[in-house]
Amino acid sequence: MTVDLAAIEPRTCVVRDTGARRGRHISVTPETTSARHLHFGRIVLDASDTPVTFSTGDRETGFICLKGTATIEAGGTAYELGRYDALYVPRDSDVAVSGGCDVAELAAPVRKRYPIQLIRFADVQNDATLHFHTGGPACERDVNIVIGKNIDAGRILAGVTFSRPGNWTSWPPHEHARMLEEAYLYIDMPEPGWGLQLVYNDPRNPELIAVIREGDVVLMPQGYHPNVSAPGGTINFLWMMAAVREGEDRQFGVVNVQPEYAQGGSGLEASRK
């Protein structure tokens, strides 16, 4: 299938400091960024705040708790989420979010209505196809697939990756734009930590080189997308993807590795077992 890929434009691929405001704020949409299907926002609340209520509309939605404890009501049931727990909520659902929490909200439009599903991060960490270490010296990281083949969904995939200090991640460089668009939300990078994110089709002329800090988002509408942390700090991120074709393209680990580095595989093979 041929896909008309959007150009990589820095002004529409980088969104800064997404968790700076209280309440629910959507910062990534196809109308405001280079995303084709992906929507992303943050819900940041104190325990005393009024619950945030909204409808998912035509979008399946994943919620991942980044900090604190969140209570999410959907489908007549209240679900309590701790750190990195997730809840998948189908399209056409009414949702209420409360608690002292910071929750990532990612979504994409779908035709079908899939069931509500709760994902415990502890269960992810006990599954060797969802949680694994990969990479060699200078590119070692811990990969956790939170919303993946463990749930029934149409487009969205998401997880968290943690690096070692000063390491590269998303290495060897790979791309998957004909199947999946992607964005990274950088997390758990306290000051003075920072990193560099690259997005490119031609490594000699990268379309995007961005300094990134905790709370920033970078979209990858196409191209290879490695990153590296500054010495002494780590680069950690919530990665989120939206499949181009509902169902058919929703596959983690199907990537094209940059040819110069392809001899050793992608480093994501454990997820395909």
- Write out the two tokens for 214: 């905790």
Q: What tokens were used for 160?
A: 């968290």
* Residue 219 one-letter amino acid: L
The model's pTM? 0.95
> Would the pLDDT of 2 be above 60?
no
Tell me the CATH class for 10-245: mainly beta
Cβ contacts of residue 19 below 8 Å, gap of 6+? 42, 44, 66, 102, 215
pLDDT reported for residue 201 = 93
What is residue 4's predicted lDDT score, i.e. its pLDDT? 45
In this model, does residue 148 exceed pLDDT 90?
Answer: yes
Q: Does the structure show a pLDDT above 50 at 1?
A: no
Q: Is the pLDDT of residue 175 over 90?
A: yes
* Token pair listed for 201: 């089709």
d(CA 58, CA 171) in angstroms, rounded, equals: 35
- pLDDT tens digits along 103-116: 999 999 999 999 99
pLDDT in the model for residue 111: 98
Q: Which residue has the tokens 């399209």?
A: 91
Q: What is the mean pLDDT of the chain?
A: 95
SS (H, E, C) the chain: CCCCCCCCCHHHHEECCCCCCCEEEEEECCCCCCCCCCEEEEEEECCCCCCEEEECCCEEEEEEEEEECEEEEECCEEEEECCCCEEEECCCCEEEEECCEEEEEEEEECCCCCCCEEECHHHHHCCCCCEEEECCCCCCEEEEEEECCCCCCCCEEEEEEEECCCCEECCCCEECCCCEEEEEEECCCCCCCCEEEEEECCCCCCCEEEEECCCCEEEECCCECCEEECCCCCCEEEEEEEECCCCCCCCCCCCEECHHHHHHCCCCHHHHC
pLDDT, tens digit, 9 for 90 and up, residues 217-264:
999 999 999 999 999 999 999 999 999 999 999 999 999 999 999 998
pLDDT value of residue 272 = 82
Domains of the chain, by residue range, sit at 10-245
Hey, what are 207's tokens?
């379309």
pLDDT digits (tens, 9 = 90+) for 50-79: 999 999 999 999 999 999 999 999 999 999
| Position with higher pLDDT, 67 vs 267 | 67
When pLDDT is cut at 50, 70 and 90, the band that residue 8 belongs to is confident
| pLDDT tens per residue, range 184-223 | 999 999 999 999 999 999 999 999 999 999 999 999 999 9
* Cα distance between the two ends of the chain: 26
